[in-house]
Amino acid sequence: GGLAQGRFDAAERLLDGLIRDYPDWAEAWNKRATLYFLQDRDDESISDIEETLRLEPRHFGALGGFGQICLRQDEPVSARIAFEKALLVNPHLDGVREIVHELGAEFRPVIN
């Protein structure tokens, strides 16, 4: 609560307005998905990630965010698929590559 929650609320109001005024702007949806993620509002975050990816299928940030939610929900296979898709779009995501490695160095890639 307190100051942090006030900042979250203010950010959410700002992003709600941006999404209302610019509904085709993928990054506004992605930023609100991130805000929801930080508040453990996973269902709302996933909904905004889906909209981000509908608008911009190659949005590797949204793919990575979905992977993080999957990890938090103990769904490592789904997480790995999301992270691998993010790496297909942007192979320079070293942190994501490390997570994929940790998720199963002994397994071959799930997608190719």
- Which phi-psi region, left, alpha or beta, contains residue 111 (left: φ > 0; alpha: ψ -120 to 50)? beta
pTM of full prediction above 0.85: yes
User: What domains, with CATH codes, occur in the chain?
Assistant: 2-104 (1.25.40.10)
Helices 76-89/94-104 angle, 10° precision: 150
pLDDT above 90 coverage of the chain, percent: 84
Paired tokens of 9: 């609320």
Q: What is the mean pLDDT of the chain?
A: 93
Pick the closest to residue 103 from 82, 88, 112, 92 (CA basis).
82
